[in-house]
Structure 1
């Protein structure tokens, strides 16, 4: 991956790192002002997503996300990253994490401070069949 592709993936990872500790300022630092999301079939503004995640955090849930198998496309100050998000949710302190996987597409724009996430499309993968 070239430097721009690495910086784009790093921006997504920084957004997730901030979200995992309920650091809304840290999340917002990685987003464009018009950020929005398609999350499991629902279109919402970014703050609505972060409100949901903050509520989960307040209830003791802990999420982990990661960017794996990224495919990066770049055109000037606009880019896209398509990847598999392999993560987990821990429902309560001390509980075993439940593995989760999402298929995600992130659109990013570069501004004077670096790459910022403009759009996230996330779809949870179906659980593997036990048959």
Structure 2
């Protein structure tokens, strides 16, 4: 079960990085919301936020690391480090590190994200 939960998170970030907006949205549960940069976003608002950033030429790469999963029946809570980079036009690629939590639910077919919270963190050596 834990592997499926992490796989869903990985797939979500891969789809965002590949700009496959509809497919990424398909991994979000009805009522999904996210906390990002101190703001609450609905599913549509969150996808549009990332889409707008990418439209400006900025690229992100994300990787779920050090996941801690608590799963019971059809609900899972995950705390993890998201390690990646930001590549903005005219700038050097910059490493990024986020501390994140996610809640996923199983709809009988697959895991879907219900909630995502992200907070920038320092990169430690």
Paired with 1:126 and 1:40, the residues of 2 have a C-alpha distance of 15
Among 118, 125, 128, the residue aligned to 2:121: 125
Matched residue count: 124
TM-score, normalisation: structure 2 = 0.92
CA deviation vs aligned residue, 1:100-124 (integer Å, no higher than 9, x gap): 1000000000012211111001101
RMSD between aligned alpha carbons?
1.5
- Counterpart in the other structure of 1:5: 2
Larger Rg: 1
Paired with 1:47 and 1:98, the residues of 2 have a C-alpha distance of 27
Among 18, 41, 49, the residue aligned to 2:15: 18
Residue 92 of structure 1: how far off its partner (Å): 2.1
Displacement over 2 Å in runs of 4+: none
- Counterpart in the other structure of 1:47: 44
Unaligned 5+ runs, structure 2: none
- Counterpart in the other structure of 1:85: 82
